[in-house]
Structure 1
Amino acid sequence: MDGAKITTATDSTKVVGLVIGALLVALAVVMLVPVLAEIVARTDDWKAFLSSAVVTGFVGGALMLANQTEERDLTHRATFLVTSLGWLSVGAFSALPFAFSEVDMNYTDAFFEAMSGVTTTGSTVIIGLDRMSPGILLWRSLLQWIGGIGIIVTAVAILPFLRVGGMQLFRTESTDKTEKVLPRPGQVAVAIGEVYLLLTLLCALAYIVGGMTPFDALNHAMTTVATAGFSTHDASFGYFENPFIHWSGTIFMISGALPLALYVQTLRGSGETLWTDPQVKGFIKMLAGVSIVMALWLAARGDYGFFEALTLTAFNVTSVVTTAGFASTDYTLWGPFGIMAFFILMFLGGCTGSTSGGMKMFRMQILGILFRTQVRQTLYPHVAQAMRYGERTVSREIVFSVALFVFVYFASMLFVALALAAFGLDFVTALSAAVTSIANVGPGLGPTVGPAGNFSSLPDGPKLIMAFAMLLGRLELLTVLVMFSKDYWER
């Protein structure tokens, strides 16, 4: 019996190594795209990308050769390991082009930039983007675009299976219902990828129509649909003065923050659609309400006309809530009300099954349902109260998972903020940097990490802490934290 357990554990370890090796080989292939961009632009950084691709491909190929096995199924525990190590490995090797290039970054900065990219956070340590080589700019955008589709697949295929943070509520929706439309899981991934690519192309076209250069349009389209936030300019969207570009960005940030599996079901006319999903309806109503209220407040102050104020608030509110991390203006100059509003918005996030980070809309809705049910139970103690989320029944297990996630979510932010403060960061910088890292928002608050700031001035320690926090938040906390428990490693 023990022999069988050891064999199973060994096979699972080999599968983990095989999967990570395959990811690194695929990453090495993607590194060749910036090589072509650098060669066309006749800059020298093509050597950095080519050498990085060789190193990454060699390590990935070696892992695949060393872990050949007929076993292809991952155990429940091994899935936690392959998810966390997979994202960590991609981030670690994605840093190589930054470290080898003429940008002159140490590995800590390179790792921070790469992890910010693959987790679609959008925080950056690079200054002088307007003068950066096209390969580096394209690599940053590609990392975020890959990270966006990666988290969608993780949210649809892995997190519901791992029952993390109430995601089991979507297990039937993301597997059973979807597989009735598309029988094989591979087809589900392909269909979601096609929608993701189509949204990106439409976004790029809209940006070109608005006056962006094709290169800027491609880069911003990848990071907009991925709700990621990297730009080709230090001023982010503030560089572009055309309101059409800002409204296009707003629309496509929203499109990336909606569940992509629902696009497939909507187009095929099967199951729940974008128009009927309670999470989508709640998300859109919340965005519209907050944007209009803040626009009215700005207009009442006399700073802007209403339409200009609505353009600013719609873009920046959507950017923060969807965790895209773009900025069209320094909203910390809007006064205490604006600063507090944006601080609260940093916690929220988009819909589950999207590229967006944060706490997610469905969890807030579950907590709202719990509150309403508890009030009714208090008023009518002898009447059984059933909890419903749309057409689905909300079990006590799901409520417990959501409540636990929210507790860990805020506890992790406080712990990270405390760790950052230990390095001498002031209260606003430490707290907002912790929130923006775990929520994968991008900019925080204050002059250092705010929308007009940059993370380059931070010491190496806080950068590494924030990089880990980005990974922690991107993988829904418990996926990573469970591996720090003694029970996980017991046979």
Structure 2
Amino acid sequence: MALIAPQDHERPGLSLGGLELVPVLFVLGVLVSALGLSMLAPALLDFVVHDHDWLGFLQAAGLTLFSGLMLVASNWRRPIRLNLKQGFLLTCLSWVVLGLFGSLPFIFATTSLDLGDAVFESISGLTTTGSTVIHDLDHMPPGILFWRALQQWVGGIGIIGMAIALLPVLRVGGMQLFRMESSDTSERGLTRIGELGLSISVIYLVITVAVALGYMLGGMTMFDAICHAFTTVSTGGFSNWDTSMGTMGPGVLWIAVLGMILGAMPFLLFVQAARGRPEVLFKDSQVRTFLTFLVGCWLFVGTWLWLTSDKSFPAAITAAAFNITSVVTTTGFASEDYTLWGDFAVMFFFLITFAGGCTGSTSGAIKTFRYQIAYKVMRAHVRRRYLPHSIILSTYRGNPIDEDVAASVVLFFFATGATTAFIALGLTLLGLDWVTALSGAATAVGNVGPGLGPLIGPSGNFAILPDSAKWLLALGMLLGRLEFFTLLVLFSRDFWRR
């Protein structure tokens, strides 16, 4: 959504403090209406297979669509324009409100989840976190399984759009470094943003179809292949089975590895490659760093696993590559319980929970470019200690790293650590052990999925946690997905003043 200051001649409408809400509520209504329409797909699926869950989806769709259309009708006005503050508010409201409405199918359908569990599952899906509270997935009606996957797929494309079009304008977490012509808010800029959005959507769909075909060739049914392609490319990690990918052969696991890597790559580069510049994929420093780190981890842990277990070298490399890629890209699939590999594996997987993929992708966590910026800033700072009279300029992609970007990145690291610590402390106050609390907080803030330990580890489930813990973790998921400051700024008193 473009951010354009309203013109002086526009009629004022509903406002809160000094912030006009009409355009925000109108766009929010459009999004809620679209969500309601999307609920008809799993309803139709259950109707075709004669499962009575179609009625629950129909109820949820009707309530959601009615609410969305009411917002649209009551706030209709042309032209619809958003300024910077309205952009902040719309971004936050969209994830929260869509997450709440997305929980309705879980309440009305067979799962019959209570409000806390339903909201947790919905927020986890929309933010592509992948933590689940649903048991016995192997016997769930197809509508619920498809809805979980569809939520993650839609959330994934929303994450890409937010990272490319909105966060650079909002100057969140160093993302202003990626502000480009596509962030132009002139009429010509709007056209370019629309074209870019269409190109990214087409590429997102093409990659999803390719991964689904790969899964089908690997032996999955068409339904399972489509659902898992949705949750692979979106780096979401919801699976149709309680064992996640535990029953899949090495061929399917390597297809998943490729799909997760593609989902964690900058989609802007895919657009440039599709327009005749494929070399950009290999020249980009962020991509090279991300892939080098990933392959290095595969070889290191795979070799260690081969030497310390009864696995063959190919099996050890496959297990390491799949599970490490799943955690680094914040997907959350698992082929086995890697916490049983030993204390070293537990610590290693906890640390890479904070890694993340590339900016402009569907992945969560800190992301590669922030580590690059932090390293360059730290190196320049150290050099100034022993070369105080030298002019030392740090650059990224050939552009100088100004103090605003450096400060944003440092603050993002602080926000990640502080939020994880506070949520972990809150979880321990609710009675959880420190491994569950710390890994649960990290996986929620990083939008990763499984935590560590017997309760919420790769073979565990979040249903066993108290409702208060689930609400706290859902807040952590939203904070992590909204890059912290996008949501926290709404709690500033000055934000609501003229």
TM-score range, shorter chain: over 0.9
SS in structure 2 at match of 1:443? coil
Distance of aligned partners of 1:428 and 1:6 in 2 relative to their CA distance in 1, 3 Å threshold? farther
Give 1:303 deviation, angstroms: 2.8
In structure 2, what is the Cα distance between the partners aligned to 1:347 and 1:145?
Answer: 22
The aligned residue for residue 237 of structure 1 is 245
Is it true that 1:7 corresponds to 2:12 in the alignment? yes
1:212-223 alignment runs, 5 A limit: 212-223=220-231
Match of 2:194 among 186, 209, 233: 186
Deviations 1:267-292 (A, max 9, x none): 11359821111111100000000110
The aligned residue for residue 268 of structure 1 is 275
Which AA in structure 2 matches 1:341? F
In structure 2, what is the Cα distance between the partners aligned to 1:66 and 1:476?
Answer: 31
- Matched residues, number: 486
Deviations 1:128-175 (A, max 9, x none): 000000000000000000000000001000000000000000002754
1:408-423 alignment runs, 5 A limit: 408-423=415-430
* Contact 1:182-1:188 at 8 Å conserved across structures: no
Higher helix share: 1
Is it true that 1:36 corresponds to 2:54 in the alignment? no
In structure 1, what is the Cα distance between the partners aligned to 2:274 and 2:161?
Answer: 19
Which AA in structure 2 matches 1:462? A
Give 1:377 deviation, angstroms: 1.6
Match of 1:430 among 425, 437, 446: 437
Give 1:12 deviation, angstroms: 3.5
Match of 1:476 among 483, 486, 497: 483
Match of 1:170 among 164, 175, 178: 178
In structure 2, what is the Cα distance between the partners aligned to 1:173 and 1:411?
Answer: 34
In structure 1, what is the Cα distance between the partners aligned to 2:47 and 2:208?
Answer: 25
In structure 2, what is the Cα distance between the partners aligned to 1:308 and 1:69?
Answer: 60
The aligned residue for residue 452 of structure 1 is 459
**Structure 1 gaps, min length 5:** none
Deviations 1:380-410 (A, max 9, x none): 2111001111222211110011001111111
* Contact 1:181-1:270 at 8 Å conserved across structures: no
In structure 1, what is the Cα distance between the partners aligned to 2:183 and 2:220?
Answer: 39
Match of 2:126 among 118, 121, 126: 118
Deviations 1:95-123 (A, max 9, x none): 00000012121111111000000000000
Residues 271-280 or 349-358, more deviating: 271-280
Distance of aligned partners of 1:182 and 1:244 in 2 relative to their CA distance in 1, 3 Å threshold? farther
* Contact 2:183-2:189 at 8 Å conserved across structures: no
* Contact 1:444-1:450 at 8 Å conserved across structures: yes
* Contact 2:270-2:281 at 8 Å conserved across structures: yes
* Contact 2:443-2:451 at 8 Å conserved across structures: yes
In structure 1, what is the Cα distance between the partners aligned to 2:280 and 2:241?
Answer: 37
* Contact 1:319-1:326 at 8 Å conserved across structures: yes
The aligned residue for residue 83 of structure 2 is 75
* Contact 2:181-2:189 at 8 Å conserved across structures: no
Which AA in structure 2 matches 1:198? V
SS in structure 2 at match of 1:236? coil
* Contact 1:12-1:73 at 8 Å conserved across structures: no
The aligned residue for residue 407 of structure 1 is 414
Match of 1:16 among 21, 24, 27: 24
Which AA in structure 1 matches 2:51? T
Give 1:192 deviation, angstroms: 0.2
Which AA in structure 1 matches 2:180? T
In structure 1, what is the Cα distance between the partners aligned to 2:240 and 2:217?
Answer: 18
In structure 1, what is the Cα distance between the partners aligned to 2:44 and 2:341?
Answer: 43
Residues 441-450 or 418-427, more deviating: 418-427
In structure 1, what is the Cα distance between the partners aligned to 2:437 and 2:227?
Answer: 30
In structure 1, what is the Cα distance between the partners aligned to 2:58 and 2:73?
Answer: 22
Which AA in structure 2 matches 1:441? V
In structure 2, what is the Cα distance between the partners aligned to 1:217 and 1:266?
Answer: 26
In structure 1, what is the Cα distance between the partners aligned to 2:309 and 2:111?
Answer: 43
The aligned residue for residue 466 of structure 1 is 473
In structure 1, what is the Cα distance between the partners aligned to 2:90 and 2:109?
Answer: 29
Give 1:4 deviation, angstroms: 8.9
Deviations 1:414-438 (A, max 9, x none): 1111111111111111111100001
Residues 166-175 or 471-480, more deviating: 166-175
Is it true that 1:205 corresponds to 2:210 in the alignment? no
Residues 267-276 or 206-215, more deviating: 267-276
Distance of aligned partners of 1:374 and 1:228 in 2 relative to their CA distance in 1, 3 Å threshold? same
Give 1:70 deviation, angstroms: 2.2
The aligned residue for residue 60 of structure 1 is 68
Which AA in structure 2 matches 1:212? M
Which AA in structure 1 matches 2:317? L
Distance of aligned partners of 1:482 and 1:94 in 2 relative to their CA distance in 1, 3 Å threshold? same
The aligned residue for residue 235 of structure 2 is 227
Give 1:473 deviation, angstroms: 0.4
Give 1:18 deviation, angstroms: 0.2
Match of 1:332 among 339, 342, 354: 339
In structure 2, what is the Cα distance between the partners aligned to 1:169 and 1:9?
Answer: 34
Is it true that 1:96 corresponds to 2:104 in the alignment? yes
Which AA in structure 2 matches 1:139? W
Percent of pairs identical after alignment? 48
In structure 2, what is the Cα distance between the partners aligned to 1:271 and 1:128?
Answer: 44
* Contact 2:182-2:189 at 8 Å conserved across structures: no
Which AA in structure 1 matches 2:281? L
In structure 1, what is the Cα distance between the partners aligned to 2:148 and 2:13?
Answer: 39
The aligned residue for residue 355 of structure 1 is 362
* Contact 2:182-2:192 at 8 Å conserved across structures: no
* Contact 2:208-2:229 at 8 Å conserved across structures: yes
Distance of aligned partners of 1:271 and 1:14 in 2 relative to their CA distance in 1, 3 Å threshold? farther
Give 1:8 deviation, angstroms: 7.7
Which AA in structure 2 matches 1:205? L
In structure 1, what is the Cα distance between the partners aligned to 2:32 and 2:12?
Answer: 26
The aligned residue for residue 303 of structure 1 is 310
Q: What TM-score does the superposition give when structure 1 sets the normalisation length?
A: 0.96
In structure 1, what is the Cα distance between the partners aligned to 2:401 and 2:276?
Answer: 25
